[in-house]
Structure 1
Amino acid sequence: MKTRLLFSLLLTASTVASALTLPAPDRPGDSLIGNPPHEVKYVAAKQEDTLIDIAVNFRLGQDEIVLANPHVDRWLPREGTQVRIPSSFILPNAPRQGIVINLPEMRIYYFPDSSRVVTYAIGIGREDNWKTPLGKTHIAGKTENPSWTPPKSIIAEHLADGDVLEPYYPPGPDNPLGLFAFKLGIPGYLIHSTNKTNGVGMRVSHGCIRMYPADIEQFFPMVKVGTQVNIVNQSIKVGWYHDTLYMEVYPEMEETPATYEQRLHTALNLIEQANGGQMPVIKGSVLKAAVEKATGIPVAIYERPTQTPPVVQGQAAPAAK
């Protein structure tokens, strides 16, 4: 309780909401981190704000803030509009060690130890020939102030669009890799900074994983060479927070489309798995709405029934309140 209270106070005091070091779930079997889901955080849009400006300010992903605010105009939110700031997250269904990257969510999770989770918004590879690969790998190297020599394929692509790339970018703020880069064990792929911050939380890269400059500056010294990296594709996540089961849903990746029936089947399997192999009784309309509305916000779908204390023989049952 103390750690969650401390987190809530820090979140209230901070202007940055989602470059977070959070307490790990405080109960065995729980999977939700961050603010308790009923503690919803909003910020009022200013006259000059777009949703993207707010996302950058709070270091959220661009698609992430749009999904969380489906009725707010991306480019012209009215002044004073209450914009929801995602501040609670269900952990991906993966071992809680090293780095876990969930592509549909466009978010990275790092587990420095059993008591903390560090999470950041990221940008990922496009849906054409530049997809970010799935699977297990590791951090193969770390470079501060990297240089960049664009591959011939990227030079040719830019040239076809009338954009001429330099054959070599020296270290510095104008380098597309930014000031920090992690080399993955998959040849040619990096986790790196970016000077195009509006692309964080979108599918705009050539397969590399992009982070806000301030985020990777914080992240870089935390992570050691050799750290395990697990890249997953989980558009539906299910997890407990105390006695309530939540579902968090994102759009499917374009290259792995799924029908509503397929998504529902996935959701039911995850619910059964989370509930110890037994399917709880869930209202159909609640489940349908959770699967259909991909908001990226944890939605309560089931609450464990309160256990009635047994009546001892010769003792009256407690009166109903």
Structure 2
Amino acid sequence: MKTRLLISLLIGVVAAVPSASALTLPPPDRPGDSLIGNPPHEVKYVAAKQEDTLIDIAVNFRLGQDQIVLANPYVDRWLPGAGAQVRIPSSFLLPNAPREGIVINLPEMRIYYFPDATKVVTYAIGIGREDDWKTPLGKTRILGKTERPSWTPPKSIIAEHLADGDVLEPYYPPGPDNPLGLYAFRLGIPGYLIHSTNKTNGVGMRVSHGCIRMYPADIEQFFPMVKTGTTVNIVNQPIKVGWYHDTLYLETYPQMEETPATFEQRLHVALDLIEQANGGKMPVIKGAILKAALEKASGIPIAIYERPVQTPAIVQSQAH
């Protein structure tokens, strides 16, 4: 028993029930740093049960569906198998944006909220599809908050569902069966909301008509925190670079379908960000690791450069 416990501690196996407090994280602990959550070397895993899918584990830990798949490229999405070690992403580089209000990074499908200088709140989200229902980019604000919203589907959405043989009701009253869930924020962009969902498997995927979806338990926690008028900055950053202490990390996601990029284009973006993060100077980076991270996005911060250790100068004194 003691041996099994020691092995579990060494490989970082975590309990199957997530802590709500894990969504509220301290800010980076050094000026100029960008990483929040667990230190990157503290890798977290959970052992899958026989009946689990990766999607079940994502919902349980309130991670996005695509996020957990990217982090576990060699684990079967639908049949991980009893005892399979599933990596639970637990550290994140902050987007390259002002750390104020709400920042939403669409390729990452994650929301960051900066209520004050002492904490960062982050959640997985679902976003708009890649066709005519894209979630818009840009800066806006929270114009209103509604608890127990009702929903009147627009004619365009009614027609789309009807074409697929699905008949929508013309009006959905407040309640658990409402597609907007029990909480909704109205954005300054007409027609767009941040809201709960009764289809939790869609969190972490591009399945909405442009609105931003959150897990019910997440938005229940988030709703009272956010005030009307809070700024919202929606960005498209599939490549993030930032420091954790003396190590520079790279975190990559697939390009959004509407903004494709070649490997060379992604490389140039990454190199520009690395140079910017290093004070305008290009460091000697781990090229093979950079190439692999850009070719196979994992959503996991990966170390690409370490600052040289500064040896304190020896001051010689002459006795008088």
TM-score normalised over the length of structure 2: 0.93
The correspondence of residues 206-245 of structure 1 with structure 2, limited to 5 A, is 206-245=209-248
Give 1:140's aligned amino acid: L
Q: Percent identity between the aligned chains?
A: 86
Pair 1:285-2:288 in alignment: yes
Q: Is the 8 A contact 2:127 2:135 kept in 1?
A: yes
Q: Which residue of 2 aligns with 1:70?
A: 73
Alpha-carbon distance in structure 1 between the residues aligned to 2:225 and 2:317: 61
CA distance in 1, matches of 2:285, 2:212: 37
Contact 1:194 1:211 in 2 (8 A): yes
User: Cα deviation per residue 1:252-272 (whole Å; 9 max; x = unaligned)?
Assistant: 000000000000000000001
CA distance in structure 1 between the aligned counterparts of 2:73 and 2:194, rounded to whole angstroms? 29
State whether structure 2 residue 174 is matched by structure 1 residue 192. no
Q: What does residue 165 of structure 1 align with?
A: 168
Shift of 1:313: 4.0
Q: Cα distance, 1:290 vs. partner?
A: 2.0
Aligned 1:77-96 pairs, distance under 5 A: 77-96=80-99
Partner of 1:221, secondary structure, is coil
- Tell me the CA shift for residue 289 of structure 1: 1.6
Counterpart residue identity of residue 192, structure 1? H
- Residue 275 (structure 1) aligned with residue 278 (structure 2): yes
CA displacement, residues 272-305 of structure 1 (integer Å, 9 cap, x when unaligned): 1111111111132122122222000000000000
Q: Which amino acid aligns with 2:184?
A: A
Aligned equivalents of 1:97 and 1:127: distance in 2? 28
Contact 2:186 2:194 in 1 (8 A): yes
Q: Among 131, 142, 150, which residue is 1:147 paired with?
A: 150
Q: Is the 8 A contact 1:17 1:59 kept in 2?
A: no
Name the SS of the counterpart of 1:118 in structure 2. Answer: strand
Question: What TM-score do the two structures reach when normalised by structure 1?
Answer: 0.93
Q: Does 1:33 align with 2:36?
A: yes
Which residue number in structure 1 is paired with residue 205 of structure 2? 202
Once residues 64 and 289 of structure 2 are traced to their aligned partners in structure 1, the CA distance between those partners, rounded to angstroms, is 27
In the TM superposition, what are the counterparts of 1:5-84 in structure 2 within 5 Å?
A: 15-16=17-18, 20-84=23-87
Name the counterpart of 1:156.
159
Name the structure 2 match of 1:318.
Answer: none
Write the distance in 2 (CA, Å) between the matches of 1:271 and 1:69: 26
- Match of 2:304? 301
Letter in 2 for 1:286: I
Matches within 5 A, 1:57-136: 57-136=60-139
Matching residue of 2:254: 251
Cα offset for 1:17?
A: 5.7
Kindly provide the CA deviation profile for residues 236-261 of structure 1, in whole angstroms up to 9, marking residues without a partner as x.
00000000000000000000000000
Aligned-pair distance for 1:14?
8.1
Cα separation, 2, equivalents of 1:299 and 1:87:
13
1:111 positional shift: 0.2
Is the Cα contact below 8 Å between 2:14 and 2:45 reproduced in 1? Answer: no
Q: Deviations over 1:298-320 (max 9, x none)?
A: 000000000122233479xxxxx
What is the CA–CA distance in structure 2 between the aligned matches of 1:269 and 1:100, rounded to whole Å? 22
